[in-house]
Chains A and B, each alone.
Chain A
Amino acid sequence: MLNLAMILALLGTAWITRPIQAQQTPTPVIADPIADKQFPPGLSVLTIPSTGSEMDAFFYLASGAGPHGTVVLLHGLPGYEINGDLAQSIRRAGWNVLLFNYRGTWGSTGIFSQSSAIEDTAAVVRFLRDPASIATYRIDPRRLVIIGHSFGGFLAGYEGSHDPDIIAIGIISATNLGRINFDPKERDSRLKRWQTQLHPVHGATASDLFAEAERHAKEWGYVQWADALRTRPVLLVEADDHFAAAGT
């Protein structure tokens, strides 16, 4: 619940510069919105194309006439945890929230790789800026925020640092793929962990993904993105896990 609270604080008051330990839980986390009969909230199910593949996407639409700021919520790898509770809370706070499954994961067609997931994220952002999408889903394209967890946190940082029109990013315990080979011991234990977790991923083994990350070590070290992001609000949510040191 703490993560939700911190992210909502980001969305509500964008410029918080000190770490916050204890926060009041905002109303949208714990209470339903007032019913809006004219513009009720909804769930739209979409297929978003990315380089010839079809990605399943779930678009939680906020109540009210809008246009609504819109959050892309990126799950990790492979995405057993999709943070569906967070999506609902963000929607209650008045934002649309889009979740999707990367190419080659959870039944989305195509082959998965980390590079293709980077492209998938950009494809989703393009989709949200498309005039037809803006009209259909009551999107405010000037208020796009990307929030990601674990591998999704890496993608959020990548997309945010490469697209200056994303207004803010939230990074929840992100994986730093640029440092995957930094500590050989850590590399081995992570590889073992990934090998047991990638069942719903099509077309890539843990070793493939490690080799890919090592090839891209230079451009995927996320600490270097700080400069590109420094004019925008960035929320880093850390946990007592193996990613904390890399995130700070």
Chain B
Amino acid sequence: MIWAMKRIGCLAFLLCLVLWSGNTIRGQESVQQVPAAVTSDPSPDPANPATMAWPDILSHGSKMYSVLYIASGSGPHPTVLMLHGFPGNEKNLDLAFSIRRAGWNVLVPFYRGAWGSGGTFSFTHAVEDTQASIDFLRDSENAKKFRIDPAHIVLVGHSMGGFIAAYAAAHEPKVFAAALVSPGNLGPGSARQRTDDPQFWERWNDNASRLVGTTAQQLVQEADSDPAKWNYMNCVSLLKNRPVLVLEADDRNTSDNQELASRLRQAGDSEVTEIHMHTDHPFSDHRIAMQAAIVNWLGIITAVRSPSQGPEKPTTRTKVVLLGTGTPVPDPDRSGPATLIVVDDRAYLVDFGPGVVRRAEAAALTRGITAARPGNLKVAFVTHLHSDHTAGYSDLILTGWTSGRAVPLEVYGPSGLQSMTEHILQAYRVDIETRTNPDAAMREIGRSPDAWKVNAHEIKAGVIYKDEKVTVTAFATKHAMESYGYRFDTPDRTIVISGDTNPVDATIKACNGCDVLIHEAQPLEMQAKMPESVQSFVARYHTTTEQLAQLANKAKPKLLVIYHTITFPPGIAPPRLLPPDASADALYVSPEMLQKEISSRYSGHFAIGKDLDVY
């Protein structure tokens, strides 16, 4: 998953951590994070599950077959129109699933004359078919029926489908963005035109033979009859105000693809992403990297552009970002507890479990939450001083500082916080001295000499923090030590987070119809298998799914997010905890198990939190 990446414009933050340089990045080897949508299933939404449909789309009197993957959730969902190549041997359905897991619908139509669709194939027809598909997605009845957000339609095309995507997006301004995956240029002078290459005719004859109503000869004639139309360089002026991804491979399209990206940049498109991968035309050994690049790009273009997009989607100023949903169990998929409340460009952190800084950077990279960049984390609240909630403290203090935080960190929490802070700073005395030494090369990149400092505030229940974006109220909870939950009142939402606790009335009072309640939960089925001592601890200091359902029925949050569930993925349960003769996965809690235990007792809207979920 290593590729050369070139990048310009407003998304340069993607690579700033690699280069610390300006906006134009060329030829640097980089590794892109693979987003969860590529590698794992989403939490099921029983009310609006992911599903598929197969509408026939009418194009100029013929029926086109299509597959429509519909994302889970009530939506409306941004929607990708995915265009296959000539003739479409690779339909990129792995990509379709990843995009759907990222919360998008995906429509895959088969052009007229292709794969059984009615009518005949030609390049002109493929362009018309694409317009017909866009019209289909924008139709108000279809939008309602299939949970489509018509303001966010993105074309993704591979090979010839890349040409069609560029052309159709250029001529339909309502298309939000286009991703061109090794787009094949059809016009004369392009790579396509090497008709003296003996393989050309062999390839085109074979491809054309799979399509109805055309031959290789006819298609070449069609492209030659209007050279300007079939050269995608002529789409540049119509595309330049929109995000365009050009994803290149080591194939015959490379030079055209590079020229296209370069022309878009020259035309002033500030949102061109150009990525090159060392692989073949169907991306055979880079399927995961290819999906990661496209899913990340979709996240970034919608995160960056959505706030300015019209009235169809009200802007949410406050977001909840789950950086870590884990427990003391070293689950590789769940970092230690850490939750970010983001209001506009400000971030407020609750707890800093192990992994917090890496996850924060991932939220910036893969979810477009720039406020989460480690240098932007300036205010934190801790629910209690257990190690799973605080083992990332030194990382937050020091990596935040070396990543650009220019002011001391402000931290609020229970008694003992000041002592912990002093001891951590003492432990890292050598590091801090080295980096603040006037001779240190580290200072060259602009670190603030005093920003390693921490102002630790030990709190009691009540309003503990206030600025122009947020008021934070602490309330006492019931855990194995002094502990607090927090309520955040922002201009548009109220968010309450429990920390680790037995059910307490204070949480119900703090929430009282709040927008989001983030609460821990331990499933009954799992607890029953635990040793007596653990069960007794949980009974006193944690919350079972049954108790949480009761609590949520009184607190009435608009959305309940469940986190901090003790679970041992297969193979990592300590033998002392495993019941005799139990299988290695006996103490694993699947999202489905949690789902079942909550949904049978609570009818409100809820979600099983995963790291890097955004609400």
A227 on interface, CB distance cutoff 8 Å: no
Residues in B neighbouring A33, C-beta threshold 8 A: 285
Assess the A43–B63 pair: CB atoms within 8 A: no
Please measure, in the bound complex, the distance between the C-alpha atom of A202 and the C-alpha atom of B90, giving whole angstroms.
23
Question: Given that A43-B90, A85-B97 are known contacts, is A24 also in contact with B571, CB under 8 Å in the complex?
Answer: yes
List CB contacts (< 8 Å) of A88-109 with chain B: 88-89, 91-92, 101, 105-107
List CB contacts (< 8 Å) of A19-36 with chain B: 20-25, 29-33, 35-36
B435 on interface, CB distance cutoff 8 Å: no
Please measure, in the bound complex, the distance between the C-alpha atom of A101 and the C-alpha atom of B115, giving whole angstroms.
9
Assess the A43–B284 pair: CB atoms within 8 A: yes
Q: Which residue of B52, B212, B570 has the most chain A CB atoms within 10 A of its CB atom?
A: B570
A197 on interface, CB distance cutoff 8 Å: yes
Task: Choose from A29, A32, A101, A107 the contact partner of B289 (Cβ within 8 Å).
Answer: A32
Assess the B278–A35 pair: CB atoms within 8 A: yes
Chain B nearest Cβ from A57, distance in angstroms? 10
Assess the B115–A21 pair: CB atoms within 8 A: no
Residues in A neighbouring B1, C-beta threshold 8 A: 31-32
Residues in A neighbouring B96, C-beta threshold 8 A: 84
Bits for A163-202, please: 1 = Cβ < 8 Å to B, else 0: 0000000000000000000000000000000000101101
Question: Given that A43-B282, A200-B115 are known contacts, is A32 also in contact with B56, CB under 8 Å in the complex?
Answer: no
B280 on interface, CB distance cutoff 8 Å: yes
Chain B nearest Cβ from A5, distance in angstroms? 10
A1 on interface, CB distance cutoff 8 Å: yes
Assess the A41–B91 pair: CB atoms within 8 A: no
Assess the B39–A88 pair: CB atoms within 8 A: no
Question: Given that A25-B40, A200-B65 are known contacts, is A88 also in contact with B94, CB under 8 Å in the complex?
Answer: yes
B345 on interface, CB distance cutoff 8 Å: no
Residues in B neighbouring A83, C-beta threshold 8 A: 93
Assess the B116–A35 pair: CB atoms within 8 A: no
Residues in A neighbouring B39, C-beta threshold 8 A: 1, 25, 29-30
Assess the A40–B285 pair: CB atoms within 8 A: yes
List CB contacts (< 8 Å) of A39-73 with chain B: 40-43, 45, 56, 58, 60, 63
Residues in A neighbouring B590, C-beta threshold 8 A: 21-22
Chain B nearest Cβ from A104, distance in angstroms? 9
Residue of A nearest to B591 (CB): A22
Chain A interfacial residues counted at CB < 8 A: 43
Assess the A81–B284 pair: CB atoms within 8 A: no
Interface size class of B (residues with CB under 8 A): 35 or more
List CB contacts (< 8 Å) of B380-433 with chain A: none
Please measure, in the bound complex, the distance between the C-alpha atom of A43 and the C-alpha atom of B251, giving whole angstroms.
14
Residues in B neighbouring A43, C-beta threshold 8 A: 89-90, 282, 284
Question: Given that A24-B570, A32-B1, A42-B280 are known contacts, is A107 also in contact with B210, CB under 8 Å in the complex?
Answer: yes
Residues in B neighbouring A82, C-beta threshold 8 A: 91, 93
Assess the B569–A24 pair: CB atoms within 8 A: yes
Assess the A30–B212 pair: CB atoms within 8 A: no
Assess the A45–B570 pair: CB atoms within 8 A: no
Residue of B nearest to A83 (CB): B93
Assess the B570–A23 pair: CB atoms within 8 A: yes
Residue of B nearest to A54 (CB): B209
Assess the A40–B116 pair: CB atoms within 8 A: no
Task: Choose from A21, A30, A84 the contact partner of B91 (Cβ within 8 Å).
Answer: A84
Please measure, in the bound complex, the distance between the C-alpha atom of A60 and the C-alpha atom of B282, giving whole angstroms.
10
Task: Choose from B40, B210, B278, B571 the contact partner of A56 (Cβ within 8 Å).
Answer: B210
Task: Choose from A2, A22, A197 the contact partner of B54 (Cβ within 8 Å).
Answer: A197
List CB contacts (< 8 Å) of B46-69 with chain A: 52, 54, 56, 63, 65, 67
B585 on interface, CB distance cutoff 8 Å: yes
Chain A nearest Cβ from B203, distance in angstroms? 10
A15 on interface, CB distance cutoff 8 Å: no
Q: Which residue of B54, B212, B280 has the most chain A CB atoms within 10 A of its CB atom?
A: B54
Task: Choose from B40, B282, B288 the contact partner of A31 (Cβ within 8 Å).
Answer: B288
B447 on interface, CB distance cutoff 8 Å: no
Please measure, in the bound complex, the distance between the C-alpha atom of A32 and the C-alpha atom of B114, giving whole angstroms.
30
Residue of A nearest to B69 (CB): A81
Bits for B559-601, please: 1 = Cβ < 8 Å to A, else 0: 0000000000111000000000000010010100000000000
Residues in B neighbouring A106, C-beta threshold 8 A: 65, 115-116
Please measure, in the bound complex, the distance between the C-alpha atom of A199 and the C-alpha atom of B115, giving whole angstroms.
12
Residues in B neighbouring A23, C-beta threshold 8 A: 570, 585
Question: Given A23-B570, A43-B89, A45-B206, list of 17 further CB < 8 A pairs?
Answer: A20-B585, A22-B590, A24-B569, A30-B288, A32-B1, A40-B284, A42-B284, A45-B89, A58-B89, A82-B93, A84-B93, A84-B96, A88-B287, A89-B94, A92-B287, A106-B65, A107-B212
Interface residues of A (CB under 8 A from B): 1-2, 20-25, 29-33, 35-36, 40-43, 45, 56, 58, 60, 63, 80-85, 87-89, 91-92, 101, 105-107, 197, 199-200, 202
Task: Give the top 4 A-B pairs by smallest Cβ distance, nearest first.
Answer: A84-B93, A85-B94, A30-B39, A41-B284
